[in-house]
Amino acid sequence: MSRLNNNSLSQLPKDVALPKYDRAHLVPGIVHLGIGAFHRAHQAFYTEAVLNQFGGDWGIIGSSLRSPSVRDQLVPQDCLYTLVERSGDGEKLQIIGAVTDTLVGPENPAALVATMAQPNIKIVSLTVTEKGYCHDPASGNLNENHPDIIHDLQHLDKPVSAIGFIVAALKQRFENNQKAFTVLSCDNLPNNGEVLEKVVLQFAQKISPAFAGWIKSNATFPSTMIDRIVPATTDDDRRDIEARLSINGEPVRDEGMVVCEPFSQWVVEDKFADGRPAWEKVGVLLVDDVRVFEKIKLRLLNGAHSTMAYTGYLSGFQYISEVMEQPAFVNLVKTYMAREAGETISAPAGFAIEAYKQQLRDRFSNKALKHRTWQIAMDGSQKLPQRLLETLREQLAGNGNIDILCLGVAAWIRYVSGVDEQGNAIEVSDPLAKELRAACDANQGNPAGMVKAVVGIQKVFGSDLINEARFVATTTQWLERFYSKGVFNSIKDAFQ
């Protein structure tokens, strides 16, 4: 079996869309930190659209800050990969060519820093997930006790964290009197640009105030709202696509392919230090203020996602589309969007918010996407603050509806206890997994004690929420119900 590469392009089946420009003319202008499936289906897709429709030469150097697997998938195939859009209407295949190389941070950190410091690099973008910011989610401050930050402050010549890489590369530019770059956060955090700027400046300040001052006045940190549902690629996906790419009956293997939904959205604050691709020509919304878009998306989409992930997983559903086949869950999601989340949102003029909510429910119901509840359930300690807890604080302040927010928090506590309703272990993937498990174990059989212990973790809940009696009581009631009659039955009783 052959492998997708530059030579196979011209022979691929006619219904596979190909790069329409000469890849040899690309000049890397972007280094992306964290080249996972999301980047390949989102920012690289938009840059590809600019290249296809309007030319230019913006190439992307991808990098992984953890494992070499994406490099091993992409480099042997000239960094080409297939983007597969799936919905009930079928499947659309496109080969993306915008990525020119892929580096692995841990293998040679100095090489990645040097690449980021090259004058042709104008943007360093990142998708490193919430926990990659090494900040305290409740306060937004750099977590100086984070092992990666401790390491990087001592060894900035070989950083391990995204923050360390950014600071190290900016430092070389500062020392060489070069221009700064734009640092473009593409993670699901409210005000992600501000969050990133804060941790980068706090880190740089520890090196020298003059350097931190230079970053502040020269680098820019636009905030962005990113949206596209991109489940992790599976071996079944790779096998299916092999056949779809076959040349003269011989399958073509693509190890780097990604699957996504047709929908995508990107809203970007337009403040770039040294230029950018003409993304506005291909549907990206360049605006002065992203916050309202980010709030709408995080609360309606991601808040619903996390709530469905914990309750759905515990009810025995593997995929989000299966959860959406249950009338009680549909009603739960509708109510949450109208009430708990919806009441805290004022959409900008012209934004059809009801249509947006319906479209979200349709997207969740896309059966062609195998989006695992377990995947979304990951890293809840990093996600809950912006997905549910900020909404909760607003609702508490106005004495408003908090029921489904408490249900979501209770389901998360039930999930991080680490044992499902059949007594099987749950593989909880979360940087605080041990601490959360210990808090639950110390209160076995005592839902009220579990809630107090978990909500007492200030890194997640701040110091205020433990004192909110209505929140603690409602969350405890849900957790009691979950333990006495099961999660699915509790939801059916309340929402069917």
CB nearer to ligand CS2: give 112 or 378.
Answer: 378
Q: Is residue 295 involved in binding ligand CS2 (CB under 6 A)?
A: no
Residue-wise DSSP of 367-431:
TTS--BHHHHHTTHHHHHIIIIIHHHHHHHHTT---HHHHHHHHHHHHHHTSB-TTSPBP----T
Residue-wise DSSP of 233-282:
P-HHHHHHHHHHT-BTTB-EE-TT-EEE-S--EEEEE---SS----GGGG
The piece of 204-212, 221-229, 332-340, 476-484 that touches ligand CS2 (CB under 6 A) is 221-229
Q: Is residue 302 involved in binding ligand CS2 (CB under 6 A)?
A: yes
CB nearer to ligand CS2: give 335 or 375.
Answer: 375
* Residue showing the smallest CB distance to ligand CS2 in the complex: 305
CB nearer to ligand CS2: give 51 or 388.
Answer: 388
CB nearer to ligand CS2: give 211 or 412.
Answer: 412
> Angle CA(448)–CA(453)–CA(459) in degrees, nearest 5?
140
Measured in whole angstroms, the distance separating CA 424 from the mean position of its chain's CA atoms is 28
Q: Which secondary structure element, helix H or strand E, spans residue 53, and what is its range?
A: helix 43-54
State in angstroms the smallest separation of the CB of 257 from ligand CS2. Answer: 18
Q: Is residue 305 involved in binding ligand CS2 (CB under 6 A)?
A: yes
Cβ pair 413, 454 in contact under 8 A: yes
Cβ pair 98, 57 in contact under 8 A: no
Q: Is residue 130 involved in binding ligand CS2 (CB under 6 A)?
A: no
State in angstroms the smallest separation of the CB of 319 from ligand CS2. Answer: 13
State in angstroms the smallest separation of the CB of 397 from ligand CS2. Answer: 26
Distance from C-alpha of 355 to C-alpha of 347, rounded to nearest angstrom: 12
- Give backbone dihedrals phi and psi of 263, rounded to 5 degrees, phi first: -65, 140
The residues near 166 (Cβ < 8 Å, ≥ 6 apart) are: 33, 116, 124, 126, 183, 200
CB nearer to ligand CS2: give 94 or 188.
Answer: 188
Q: Is residue 258 involved in binding ligand CS2 (CB under 6 A)?
A: no
Number of residues in contact with ligand CS2 under rule CB under 6 A: 10
State in angstroms the smallest separation of the CB of 108 from ligand CS2. Answer: 29
CB nearer to ligand CS2: give 189 or 196.
Answer: 189
Q: Which of 166, 229, 257, 360 is close enough to bind ligand CS2 by CB under 6 A?
A: 229
The residues near 281 (Cβ < 8 Å, ≥ 6 apart) are: 50, 53, 54
State in angstroms the smallest separation of the CB of 379 from ligand CS2. Answer: 8
Side-chain-side CA neighbours of 392 within 13 Å: the count stands at: 26
CB nearer to ligand CS2: give 4 or 229.
Answer: 229
Site map for ligand CS2, 368-397, x if CB under 6 A? -------xx------x--------------
State in angstroms the smallest separation of the CB of 31 from ligand CS2. Answer: 22
- List the one residue out of 381, 393, 378, 369 whose CA is nearest residue 299: 393
The piece of 15-23, 77-85, 134-142, 301-309 that touches ligand CS2 (CB under 6 A) is 301-309
State in angstroms the smallest separation of the CB of 230 from ligand CS2. Answer: 7
Cβ pair 223, 293 in contact under 8 A: no
State in angstroms the smallest separation of the CB of 227 from ligand CS2. Answer: 4
CB nearer to ligand CS2: give 135 or 228.
Answer: 228
- List the one residue out of 371, 459, 377, 465 whose CA is nearest residue 416: 377
Cβ pair 134, 161 in contact under 8 A: yes
The piece of 98-106, 110-118, 148-156, 297-305 that touches ligand CS2 (CB under 6 A) is 297-305
The piece of 211-219, 298-306, 415-423, 437-445 that touches ligand CS2 (CB under 6 A) is 298-306
CB nearer to ligand CS2: give 102 or 307.
Answer: 307
CB nearer to ligand CS2: give 115 or 185.
Answer: 185
State in angstroms the smallest separation of the CB of 308 from ligand CS2. Answer: 9
State in angstroms the smallest separation of the CB of 360 from ligand CS2. Answer: 10
Q: Which of 85, 227, 237, 254 is close enough to bind ligand CS2 by CB under 6 A?
A: 227
Residue-wise DSSP of 304-335:
HHHHHHHHHHHTT--BHHHHTTSHHHHHHHHH
CB nearer to ligand CS2: give 131 or 158.
Answer: 131
Cβ pair 461, 406 in contact under 8 A: no
Q: Torsion over CA of 469, 472, 477 and 478, rounded to 10 degrees?
A: 140
Q: Is residue 228 involved in binding ligand CS2 (CB under 6 A)?
A: yes
The piece of 210-218, 227-235, 252-260, 325-333 that touches ligand CS2 (CB under 6 A) is 227-235
Please report, in angstroms and rounded to a whole number, the separation of the first and last CA atoms in the chain. 51
Q: Is residue 188 involved in binding ligand CS2 (CB under 6 A)?
A: yes
Distance from C-alpha of 376 to C-alpha of 452, rounded to nearest angstrom: 25
Question: Cα separations (Å) of 192 from 151, 225, 467?
Answer: 24, 8, 28
Sign, CA dihedral 64-67-73-76, equals positive
Q: Is residue 446 involved in binding ligand CS2 (CB under 6 A)?
A: no
State in angstroms the smallest separation of the CB of 231 from ligand CS2. Answer: 8
Angle between helices 162-175 and 209-218 (to 10 degrees): 90
Q: In the complex, which residues of this chain contact ligand CS2 (CB under 6 A)? A: 188, 227-229, 301-302, 305, 375-376, 383
